Amino acid sequence: MTMSEQNKDSAADPQKPLKDLTDMQTLVSLCKRRGFVFPSSEIYGGINSCWDYGPLGIELKMAVKDSWWKSMTQFQDDVEGVDASILMHPRVWEASGHVENFNDPLVDCKKCKARHRADHLKPVRELEAKLGHLPTLEEMAKVLENAGCPNCGTAGSLTAPRLFNMMFKTHMGPVADEGNHVYLRPETAQGIFVNFRNVQESMRRKLPFGIAQIGKAFRNEITPGNFTFRTREFEQMEMQYFVSPGTDTEHFERWREARLQWHIENGIRPNKLRFHPHGQNELAHYAKQAGDIQYEFPIGWQELEGIHNRTDFDLGRHTEFSGKSLHYSDENNNKFIPYVIETSVGCDRFVLAVMCDAYRANEDRVVMQFHPKFAPYKVAVFPLMKKDELVEPAKRLYDELRKTFKTDFDVAGSIGKRYRRHEEIGTPFCVTIDYDGLIDQSVTIRHRDTMAQERIPMAKVKSYIETAFQNWKV
Ligand code: GAP
């Protein structure tokens, strides 16, 4: 059997247009089928809004973290990294304002027991648009009095809204009393603020400089959902950039641009990205100026990353609550509390955006058009048939390539099926060894996105792929 005969069963037309993802459920199924993301504790029926990354998902997620970390630390000469603990002194969360302010308004349905965020309900959103600010709890209660429950439709069944603190509380040590409660951190940022002085002194830093961190955060969200978009346990990639007051607006603009550019360089299509500046009523309790980089998910335009001007709020509050000065003295001996520009992107949410953005399909095939740096496998090697004389040289090539790239070796099924499988997991190149290749030491290399095939010397496969990745157009 020749390559061209084998290829007939791929039955896919490269000219046939591919469409974008239109619903999240399609992606959820692909992720489960192909080993990207599984429901957590699935054999027990799962647990609401918790997800596990599978073998391909973790490759993608680690590549995302690597890209962010390098862009923030290796390619920035004024940003240092830390990895702070999740459990922190409980006073941290009083100082940060989370104990007092990290609340969402919650309503329960007395009939079906569903819980809703009051500020997400239509009557409240309409009132908010009319008032130009978030209504008070009393105002919300009034418009929701006769409203229907979005779950069961029963009118007049919603309780009055009450504030619900989203921090997970637990106890440190064996005795569960109020004196030893701790919180699972709801943002990684505070681990950076409390280490401001440690990093500045140990690394001999002068303003402006930044501190970056990747780590888990926990929020007891009232309405998690839409796959990994909103979960109760998630990872954040945050950077706090410490600046002199008065230069904060200029640094805010610079980071806003830099972060938008990072998303584009990482393969997200620019027409799917936009910046949404926050109005006064949207600002978090610590922010003077803020905005979101938004991505157009199948559920609509949603926040992907927050950029905040946090002023001197955090370092000021930690100075006050800890009694330890977090002031900075410049070369003229001016003493002040630095301002902070924060960039904060959800790692899981960005991974979701990468997957949504990569997805293309028609009746014949599904192709995850990942940027090569995010493709779980960079290349797959196939012997045309499961015959020793083909399997052995293919194995040798596989062993050679995997020293450089995450490589798959696949002998199961027809070549067409193997192409389909690797398109669906986003492998940029597939390399097939056939009988002609045994004679002239050549292989067929196939491009995922164009389906084009080229004949190249076996010895050049590695350099061919390296060059293609270097010249990859985003
Ligand atoms: N330190 C600032 C901060 O935490 P945020 O806007 O609340 O700001 C930053 O969160 C980013 O974290 C969001 O843009 C989003 O990508 C991600 N994020 C927040 N809550 C999340 C959740 N429940 N599930 C997944 N990602 C979340």
Kindly state the tokens that stand for 395: 């194995």
Residue nearest to atom 9 of ligand 1 (CA): 344
pLDDT grade for 11, boundaries at 50, 70 and 90: low
pLDDT at 449 over 50: yes
Q: What is the mean pLDDT of the chain?
A: 94
Task: Please state the atom number of ligand 1 nearest to the C-alpha of residue 350.
Answer: 16
How does residue 201 score in pLDDT terms, banded at 50, 70 and 90? Answer: very high
Is 50 exceeded by the pLDDT of residue 1? no
Ligand 1, residue 292: give the atom nearest the CA.
14
For ligand 1, atom 2, which residue shows the shortest CA distance? 344
pLDDT in tens, 319-366: 999 999 999 999 999 999 999 999 999 999 999 999 999 999 999 999
Q: How far is the CA of 325 from the centre of ligand 1 (A)?
A: 29
Closest residue to atom 18 of ligand 1, CA basis:
346
* Percentage, residues of the chain above pLDDT 90: 90
| Angle, vertex CA 263, rays to CA 261 and CA 267, nearest 5 | 110
Please give the average per-residue pLDDT across 225-246, as a whole number.
97
So what's the pLDDT on residue 267?
95
Res 12 pLDDT > 90: no
Mean per-residue pLDDT, 139-162: 94
**Could you tell me the distance, in angstroms and rounded to a whole number, from the CA of residue 345 to the centre of ligand 1?**
7
| Residue from 260, 349, 351 whose mutation best tests the ligand 1 pocket (most atoms within 8 A of CB) | 349
d(CA 317, CA 321): 6
Q: Whose CA is nearest to atom 19 of ligand 1?
A: 346
Would the pLDDT of 26 be above 80?
A: yes
Which of 238, 344, 345 for a ligand 1 pocket mutation test, highest count of atoms within 8 Å of Cβ? Answer: 344
Judge whether 434 and 386 are in contact, CB under 8 Å: no
Ligand 1 atom closest to residue 189's alpha carbon, by position in its atom list? 1
CA of 236 to the centre of ligand 1 (A): 7
CB contact at 8 A, 366 and 424 = yes
Ligand 1 pocket mutation pick from 238, 303, 308, 350 by most atoms within 8 angstroms of CB: 303
Residue nearest to atom 25 of ligand 1 (CA): 230
- pLDDT at residue 4 is higher than 60: no
DSSP string, 184-215: E-S-SHHHHHTTHHHHHHHTT--SSEEEEEEE
Q: How far is the CA of 143 from the centre of ligand 1 (A)?
A: 29
Q: Which atom of ligand 1 is nearest to the CA of 231?
A: 24
CA dihedral 198, 200, 204, 210 (to 10 degrees): 130
Atom of ligand 1 nearest to the CA of 221: 23
Span from the CA of 262 to the centroid of ligand 1 (angstroms): 18
Distance, CA 306 to ligand 1 centroid (Å)? 7
Instruction: Supply the pTM of this predicted model.
Output: 0.94
Which ligand 1 atom lies nearest to the CA of residue 232? Answer: 23
Mutate to test the pocket of ligand 1, among 236, 307, 310 (most ligand atoms within 8 A of CB): 236
Count CB neighbours of 267 within 10 A: 19
Task: Tell which one of 37, 193, 213, 234 to mutate to probe ligand 1, the residue whose CB is within 8 A of the most ligand atoms.
Answer: 234
**CA 188 to ligand 1: nearest atom:** 1
Which of 35-49, 165-179, 348-362, 433-447 bottoms out in mean pLDDT, i.e. has the lowest? 165-179
Residues with CB under 6 A from ligand 1: 187, 189, 219, 221, 230-231, 234, 236, 238, 303-306, 342, 344-346, 348-349
- Whether 440 and 456 have beta carbons less than 8 Å apart is answered as no
Amino acid at 384: L
- If DSSP codes are grouped into helix, strand and coil, which group holds residue 10? coil
Residue whose CA lies nearest to ligand 1 atom number 20: 230
Task: Provide DSSP, 293-362.
Answer: EEEEETTEEEEEEEEEEEETHHHHHHHHHH-----EE-TT--EEPPEEEEEEEEHHHHHHHHHHHHEEE-
Indicate the DSSP class of residue 247: S
Q: Which atom of ligand 1 is nearest to the CA of 346?
A: 16
Instruction: Indicate which residue's Cα is closest to atom 6 of ligand 1.
Output: 306
Closest residue CA from atom 16 of ligand 1: 346
Q: How far is the CA of 229 from the centre of ligand 1 (A)?
A: 10
pLDDT interval class at 5 (50, 70, 90):
very low
- Give the Å distances, CA to CA, from 435 to 384, 388, 390, 439: 8, 12, 7, 7
For ligand 1, atom 15: residue with the closest CA: 346
